Structure 1
């Protein structure tokens, strides 16, 4: 749990410092997540 919390914290700080780059990186992940959710249900 502690390691997961640490990774989440670093991710959030990264998002706060580099919003444009974060958007470019997170967009495909979000699209993939939505696609997987549609396949599941």
Structure 2
């Protein structure tokens, strides 16, 4: 039972880190045009 006092805060911190990372990626425009990168690989320059 004592391990829950360690695991619950650690899992909350992990979830918060994941949410901050996703927010950062969306804010920086990482998901703006996901189709263009797939098309860029297929076309030769």
TM-score, structure 2 normalization: 0.46
**Higher relative helix content:** 1
Structure with greater Cα Rg: 2
Which structure carries more relative contact order (alpha carbon 8 Å, separation 6+)? 1
TM-score, structure 1 normalization: 0.50
